[in-house]
């Protein structure tokens, strides 16, 4: 009992110069404690901010230029941008037709997932490529499930049931427009920001 009485005293109903329930001491204690919290949080900020990519990494993430002229119809190349594989496929007429024949209701992810377009554009094949350059499909070659690199770039690799890409990790399958058709991946392969500098040259980033 005695301990409780003494513990209650500092909350100060009648102590010090208290007026009513809240004394000046309470006010000072709350202000001091509040400032200590603000100071602590401020000190923590640099410790958290250092987790972001550093200046070298950001600088290495600048746009790159890729020459498309050596890629024959039906071929594909893989280049690297920001440490990620970039798939560039020179699609055949047949592959484009196959991609265009797909109706929206067959698609698991209805969004274009195209960095050059807004989120509400649908995943029709025309929104996955640049107008007039339908033969060129440019995508980040990272499975949207858990980040593996799907196969299908090189001759002899499994392309899956839809003729595009097949991820060996958990069996996700993409069509000739890089859209998810089967398996656990939730999204279409991402189309990075890129632009045509000339007919045979693009800039990624």
Partner 1 sequence: MSHDSSYKPNSGFERWMDERLPIIRLGADFATFPTPRNLNYFWTFGGILTFCLVVQIVTGIVLAMHYIPDAGLAFDSIEKIRRDVPFGWLIQPIHMVGASMFFIAVYIHMFRGLYYGSYKAPREVLWILGMLIYALMMATAFFGYSLVWGNMSFWGVTVITSLVGTLDEIIRGTGTWLLTQVLGGYSVNPATLNRLYSLHYLLPFAIAGLVVLHIWALHVSGNNNPTGLMVKKDSDTVPFHPYMTVKDGFALSVFVLVFAWFVFYVPFYLADPANSEPANALKTPAEIAPEWYFRPYYAILRSIPSKLWGVVFFALSIVLWFFVPWLDTSRVRSAKYRPAYRWCFWLFVISFIGLTYLGGKPPEGWYVIWSRIFMVYYFAYFIILLPLLGLVETPLPMPNSITESVLGAGGGAPAGAAASAEKR
Looking at the Cβ atoms of 34 and 147, the one nearer to partner 1 is 147
Q: Which of 33, 34, 39, 53 binds partner 1 (CB under 8 A)?
A: 53
| Binding segment toward partner 1, per CB under 8 A, in 39-47, 49-57, 93-101, 131-139 | 49-57
DSSP run (H or E) holding 195: strand 194-198
Residue 18 binds to partner 1 (criterion: CB under 8 A): no
The Cα–Cα gap between 172 and 110 comes to 16
Smallest distance, partner 1 to C-beta of residue 161, A: 14
Q: Please name which of 134, 140, 112 lies closest in space to residue 204, comparing C-alpha atoms.
A: 140
Q: Is 170 a catalytic residue?
A: yes
Q: Which of 25, 64, 77, 84 binds partner 1 (CB under 8 A)?
A: 84
Residue 156 binds to partner 1 (criterion: CB under 8 A): no
The Cα–Cα gap between 193 and 201 comes to 14
Q: Which of 57, 74, 100, 106 binds partner 1 (CB under 8 A)?
A: 57
3-state secondary structure (DSSP) of residue 122: strand
Q: Count residues contacting partner 1 (CB under 8 A)?
A: 28
Residue 34 binds to partner 1 (criterion: CB under 8 A): no
On whether the CB atoms of residues 103 and 123 are closer than 8 A, the answer is: no
Q: List 191's β-bridge partners, or say none.
A: 114
The beta strands (E) that lie in 59-179 are given as 64-67, 76-81, 84-90, 136-140, 163-166, 173-175
Residue 130 binds to partner 1 (criterion: CB under 8 A): no
Residues marked as catalytic: 170
Residue numbers of the site for partner 1 (CB under 8 A)?
Answer: 51-54, 57, 61, 78, 80, 82-85, 119, 142, 144-149, 168-171, 183-186
């Amino acid at each position: 009992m005695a301990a409780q009485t003494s513990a209650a005293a500092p909350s100060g109903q009648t102590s010090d110069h208290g007026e009513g329930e809240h004394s000046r001491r309470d006010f000072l204690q709350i202000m001091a404690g509040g400032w200590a919290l603000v100071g602590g949080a401020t000190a923590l900020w640099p410790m958290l901010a250092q987790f972001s990519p550093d200046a070298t990494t950001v600088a290495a993430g600048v746009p790159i230029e890729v020459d498309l002229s050596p890629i024959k119809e039906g071929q594909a190349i893989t280049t690297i941008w920001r440490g990620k594989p970039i798939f560039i496929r020179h699609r055949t007429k047949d592959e484009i037709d196959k991609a265009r024949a797909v109706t929206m209701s067959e698609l698991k992810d209805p969004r274009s997932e195209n960095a050059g377009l807004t989120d509400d554009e649908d995943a029709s094949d025309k929104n996955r490529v640049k107008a007039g350059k339908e033969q060129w499909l440019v995508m980040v070659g990272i499975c949207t499930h858990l980040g593996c690199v799907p196969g299908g770039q090189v001759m002899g690799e499994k392309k899956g049931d839809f003729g595009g890409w097949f991820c060996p990790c958990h069996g996700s399958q993409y069509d000739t427009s890089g859209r998810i058709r089967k398996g656990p991946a939730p999204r279409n392969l991402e189309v990075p920001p890129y632009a045509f500098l000339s007919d045979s040259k693009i800039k990624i980033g």
